[in-house]
A and B are shown apart, each in its own frame.
Chain A
Amino acid sequence: MVAKLKRCYGSGVNALTHLGQNYLEIDHSLIAEILRLLRDEEQFDYCVDVTAVHYPKREKQFDVVWVLYSFARNERIRVKAQIADGASVPSSVPLWATCNWLEREVYDMFGIKFDGHPDMKRILLPDGWKGHPLRKDYGILQQDNEWVQINLGIESGQ
């Protein structure tokens, strides 16, 4: 599988193993293609999770991570792509319906937009909230004071 991917995409794909778990590092531009290929040709029919990691010091600040599982192969794989702040990622809702809420959560927590998502809005935090709490520059005590004042009628949520 890895060889095939390498042949197709060359340096855009990097297959690695850490602690016995396989993962692919792929280029931003290849996300849609590779995810589709993994689902359709490699039978990764179950998208376990979509999440992101924030590295503020890097040029491309975000790692977006897809955890995929194949029932047929009984194998799990992670796909990782680096995204710059403000860049958007193709949505995988057409591939796996489960990505709907998972991508919304990534957007809610990191502010990463997914192109082609049917309903790109916040999920856990209220719609009017400012800021994305899982970014590293968002302090643990920080909150949207304005929102709290207006909607809850109190000075601070603490």
Chain B
Amino acid sequence: MTDPKTLSPLDLDTPDKTFLDSNELVINMGPQHPATHGVLRVILRLDGEKVLGLECVIGYLHRGVEKIAENRTYTMFNPYVDRMDYVAAVSNGLGYCEAVEKLLSVEAPPRAQYIRVILTELNRIASHQLWLGTHALDIGAITPLFYTFRDREEILKIFEKYCGARLTTHAFRIGGLQYEAYEGFEKEVRNFVNFVKPKIDEYEELLTTNRIWLERTKGVGVISGKDCIALGVTGPVLRASGVKWDIRKALPYANYKNFDFEIPTGENGDTYDRYLVRMVEMRQSLRIIEQAVEAIPEGPIMAKVPKVMKPPVGEIYHSIEAPKGELGYFIVSDGSTQPYRIRVRPPSFVNLQALDMMCRGQLVADVIAVIGTLDIVLGEVDR
């Protein structure tokens, strides 16, 4: 306990002087490394450049969100969920609000539902764009990053105009919405859809048929659908392995059952398929947005929710399809104003577990590609 070296499980502070003698080379990647997407630390055991195994060391960004929740009221905790997956804050908010609404047995009015879906899908596109940019950057293509950030900016502008914040939006309230959609919201969203469609083609033009991109991603980090299920991997990773499962279709929440969209699946479960699946997902999200903007009804945006929320005693597990996978909230209420326990089931955390399996036998460069393709956000992994 008193030895600071307990921090480093493989004792890297005193490198083995004879490491060159053995075939195994232990490399510490992170927590400060350009390609670990935050403060992920990966300890690699290498034979030359081949990965024999790896261990993830996480928790550098642990803020105790679940503990904080127990000391806040339901309303007060709402902004905190944005800080977990800060790339897809709207999705986090949607999951939390819906879970508490279920606990309270209220339902958001239809207009609120539609606006929620529009914002959540916009956020899904933003999250995928950020993923694409950084993933391509990891593999060495620097240009897509700037393209995706340019287009993601338009989404953030819509968020900013809607609720005043760009990243940690706190867009939804328990029971509906606080803000009515601003004037011209629908037009701007429509404009954005038309603006971003050719841009997605542009990304694909840069990468989809690029020989080097194909060589770097095809057959890299392969994981079968069966392994995905065993490891609890969800989201685009699961779908790229051929399992057609999306919570929006399987256990519809919000008003997703009103929309017509496809679930893209891959065949090989490799990095390239995951890339394709996410590209199609972006287009499908645009489809949902288009339908939602057309069908958005008039009406109230807030359900009747008591000022002081005291959900009846009980438990609820509610999950949504976040851009990264199944994001679940397990809430235990003891009848007071504060949740007795909130458990967040973070998709990134569970997906990251598959890293070891996906990287075995691959090369160091593939580890980077696989970390990128898992699309983890360390704020969510560590909470």
A: residues with CB less than 8 A from B are 18-19, 21, 23, 45-49, 51, 53-54, 65, 67, 71, 74, 76, 78, 96-98, 100-102, 105, 109, 122-128, 130, 133-134, 136, 138, 140, 146-147, 150-151
Q: Which residue of B lies closest to A67 (CB)?
A: B317
Q: Is B261 an interface residue (CB 8 A)?
A: no
Chain B residue at minimum C-beta to C-beta distance from A53: B341
Q: List 17 A-B contacts (CB under 8 A).
A: A18-B316, A19-B316, A45-B230, A49-B317, A54-B341, A71-B229, A71-B243, A74-B250, A78-B315, A97-B227, A124-B59, A126-B7, A128-B2, A134-B66, A134-B341, A138-B67, A140-B64
Interface pairs A-B: 4 shortest CB-CB? A98-B232, A124-B59, A128-B1, A51-B343
Residues from chain A with a CB closer than 8 A to the CB of B316 are 18-19, 21
B330: A residues at CB distance < 8 A:
49, 51, 65, 67
Contact of B245 among A71, A97, A124, A128 (CB under 8 A): A71
| Chain B contact residues, CB within 8 Å of chain A | 1-4, 6-7, 9, 58-59, 62, 64, 66-68, 70-71, 102-103, 105, 227, 229-233, 243, 245, 250-251, 314-317, 319, 326, 328, 330, 332, 340-341, 343, 345, 349-350, 352-353, 382-383
Given contacts A45-B229, A48-B326, A125-B62, 15 further A-B contacts (CB under 8 A): A21-B317, A46-B229, A48-B345, A51-B343, A65-B343, A67-B345, A74-B250, A74-B251, A97-B227, A100-B353, A101-B353, A128-B2, A128-B6, A140-B64, A150-B2
Q: B67, A101: Cβ atoms under 8 Å?
A: no
- Would you call the interface of chain B mostly helix, strand, loop, or mixed? mixed
* CB < 8 Å neighbour of A101 from B1, B64, B350, B383: B350
Query: Are A96 and B232 also in contact (CB < 8 A) when A48-B326, A48-B328, A76-B251 are?
Result: yes
- What residue of chain A has the Cβ atom nearest to residue B334's Cβ? A55
Name the distance in Å between A56's Cβ and chain B's nearest Cβ: 12
Q: How far is the CA of A2 from the CA of B215 in the complex (A)?
A: 51
